[in-house]
């Protein structure tokens, strides 16, 4: 089964147990402390998850007139996802630790790049821990 919007912690766990081609991405980020998400990832994350950083991975180069977090170039984003292990048939699941906004950015970028098997973990890291 492919997920295109939300996935529950239970469904994600089942996908991981089934040896499905799944890439889990921790998108946790704090605008006031840009290093906090990666620090927290190193302490605790969903098993098998990789970390993606809003500034470094999910944004393009700043020009001074294109905003705080401009879109990356599609080819740069595609290369990142390939390096992380995503292929055409990979189910990508994004999560964060603060309401889902950063995870939703990765979800949107994946859809923008044409990858439809992308979902946000419903409830994020807190829901995973609770489950």
- Where does 6-130 sit in CATH, by number? 3.40.250.10
Kindly report, residue by residue over 8-55, the tens digit of the pLDDT: 999 999 999 998 899 999 999 999 999 999 999 999 999 999 999 999
Tell which residue, 98, 116, 88, has the closest CA to residue 26: 98
Q: Which residue has tokens 């809003």?
A: 54
Average pLDDT (59-66) is: 78
The three-class DSSP label of residue 7 is strand
């Amino acid at each position: 089964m492919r997920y295109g919007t939300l996935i529950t912690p239970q469904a994600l766990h089942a996908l991981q147990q089934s040896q499905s081609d799944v890439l889990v991405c921790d998108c946790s980020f704090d605008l006031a402390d840009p290093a906090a998400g990666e620090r927290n990832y190193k302490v605790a994350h969903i098993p098998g998850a990789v970390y993606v950083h809003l500034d470094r991975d999910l944004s393009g180069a700043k020009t001074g007139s294109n905003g705080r977090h401009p879109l990356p170039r599609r080819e740069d984003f595609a290369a990142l996802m390939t390096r992380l292990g995503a292929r055409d048939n990979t189910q990508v699941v994004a999560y964060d630790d603060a309401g889902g906004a950063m995870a939703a950015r990765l979800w949107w970028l994946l859809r923008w790049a044409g990858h439809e098997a992308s979902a946000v973990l419903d409830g994020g890291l807190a829901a995973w821990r609770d489950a």
